[in-house]
């Protein structure tokens, strides 16, 4: 029986990656469905820690920053192992996801949401992040006049970057500081904030995003960055809750999701204009957004953003790789490849040392072990 293994953070070891209850908001649904497909084809599917290293045929890597030593360990004991990397975070979060760096990675496949990368590199395969499936009968139907006005759900993070949108979130909070009855903030890490707009609006942590979002007409839906093609769970969380998102992020989002489904922040010259549009919106107009969402989730293009679409795409790549001829690459080959990436981009790694620290440590330790 062929063995497929996944590198995962500690909370998801011992096969908890495939337990729908191991993370909130059904965020692991894509891996539950992926395991189901793989096992239906006679493949064994486990987390890296739960199988014999020498038995692994394909290693699926979910976070190269934290798991480089696991990758090298697998290669050392099995030089013919094949590697698939699934990149979900943008370069703002993980500098290794820069297109040129990712293109130099010694993997058999790189699954990435970035179309520009996929067009440029032969190992690239277009793969959206894979969100929990939304069906019309699970969308809450709370009356318009029973809903509160506006909400935001974010963790308290701040990364200053030319592509970042963290500061734009704070700008929105500050605008609604003078309208405390109309804006609520949820999320982790805001408890000790001294920002007046946060103190006025913060309602605590969020256990289930859908349970919070469904009680509001609108939600601030800003990605952490403005990269083309980078469309995350934020807008789909709103769709699932029957809440109209105010979106800012991927500049080409309208190529994938109809503009009739969301309010585009770029259409307004400032927050005053946005506020007046929201506060004066008639129920019929509001309902047209919700209907557009229901139409969208019935369309073929929606499938590519779902956990089912993700599971089908990843499983197809695994099946294809299993049928390709075996190769044998030594640990030294991979160490040289990763080291070349670092030495070719010294400034990038110095600027992003904090986020790359574990990757660099693992690389150095692995060199010492051979």
pLDDT band at 355 (very low <50, low <70, confident <90, very high): confident
pLDDT for position 29: 98
The model's pLDDT over 89-128, given as tens digits with 9 standing for 90+, comes to 999 999 999 999 999 999 999 999 999 999 999 999 999 9
136-302 is a CATH 3.40.640.10 domain:
no
Helix residue spans in the chain (DSSP H): 29-40, 64-77, 99-103, 115-120, 166-175, 196-201, 209-213, 233-241, 271-279, 283-296, 307-323, 331-344, 346-351, 353-368
Average of per-residue pLDDT values in the chain: 96
pLDDT band at 63 (very low <50, low <70, confident <90, very high): confident
Spatial neighbors of 153 by CB under 8 A, at least 6 apart, are 185, 186, 187, 206, 209, 212, 213, 219, 237
Please state the domain extents for the chain: 3-132+307-368, 136-302
**CA–CA separation, 186 and 25 (whole Å):** 15
pLDDT band at 369 (very low <50, low <70, confident <90, very high): confident
- CATH class for the region spanning 3-132+307-368: alpha beta
Same fold yes or no, 3-132+307-368 and 136-302: yes
Judging by beta carbons within 10 Å of its beta carbon (0-12, 13-18, 19+), is residue 18 exposed, middle or buried? buried
pTM of the predicted model as reported, rounded to 2 decimal places: 0.95
**110 bridge partner residues:** 85, 124
Give the full edge-to-edge strand order of the sheet including 244-248: 202-204, 183-186, 148-153, 216-222, 244-248, 263-264
The model's pLDDT over 183-226, given as tens digits with 9 standing for 90+, comes to 999 999 999 899 999 999 999 999 999 999 999 999 999 999 99
Q: Among 30, 54, 56, 53, which Cα is nearest to 45's?
A: 56
The model's pLDDT over 265-286, given as tens digits with 9 standing for 90+, comes to 999 999 999 999 999 999 999 9
**CA–CA separation, 217 and 164 (whole Å):** 26
Give the distance, in angstroms, between the CA of residue 255 and the centroid of all CA atoms in the same chain. Answer: 19
Instruction: Please give the helix or strand (H or E) that residue 85 lies within, else none.
Output: strand 82-87
């Amino acid at each position: 029986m062929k063995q497929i293994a996944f590198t995962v953070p500690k909370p998801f070891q011992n096969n908890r990656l495939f337990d729908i209850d191991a993370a909130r908001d059904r965020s692991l649904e894509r891996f539950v469905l992926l395991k189901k497909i793989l096992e239906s084809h006679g493949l064994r599917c486990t987390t890296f820690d739960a199988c014999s290293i020498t038995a692994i045929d394909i290693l699926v890597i979910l976070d190269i920053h934290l798991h480089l030593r696991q990758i090298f360990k697998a290669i050392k004991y099995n030089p013919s192992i094949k590697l698939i990397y699934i990149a979900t975070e943008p370069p703002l979060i993980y500098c290794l996801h820069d297109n040129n760096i990712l293109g130099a990675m010694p993997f058999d496949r790189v699954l990435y949401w970035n179309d520009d990368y996929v067009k440029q590199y032969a190992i690239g395969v277009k793969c959206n992040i894979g969100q929990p499936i939304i069906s019309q009968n699970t969308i809450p139907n709370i009356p318009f006049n029973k809903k509160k006005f506006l909400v935001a759900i974010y963790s308290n993070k701040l990364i200053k970057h030319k592509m970042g949108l963290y500061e734009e979130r704070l700008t929105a909070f500050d605008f609604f500081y003078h309208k405390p009855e109309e804006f609520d903030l949820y999320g982790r890490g805001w408890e000790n904030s001294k920002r007046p707009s946060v103190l006025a609006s913060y309602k605590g942590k969020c256990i289930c995003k859908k349970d919070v979002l469904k009680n509001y007409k609108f939600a601030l839906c800003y990605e952490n960055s403005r990269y083309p093609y980078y469309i995350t769970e934020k807008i789909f969380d709103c769709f699932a809750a029957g809440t109209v998102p105010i979106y800012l992020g991927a500049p080409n989002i309208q190529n994938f999701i109809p503009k009739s489904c969301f309010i585009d922040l770029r259409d307004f010259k400032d927050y005053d204009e946005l506020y007046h549009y929201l506060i004066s919106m008639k129920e019929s107009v509001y309902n047209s957004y919700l209907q557009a969402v229901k139409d969208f989730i019935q369309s073929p293009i929606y499938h590519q953003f779902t956990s089912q679409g993700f599971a089908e795409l990843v499983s197809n790549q695994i099946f294809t790789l299993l049928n390709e001829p075996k190769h044998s690459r030594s640990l030294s080959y991979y160490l040289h490849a990763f080291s070349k990436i670092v030495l070719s981009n010294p400034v990038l790694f110095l600027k992003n040392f904090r986020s790359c620290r574990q990757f660099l440590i693992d690389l150095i330790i692995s060199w010492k072990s051979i």
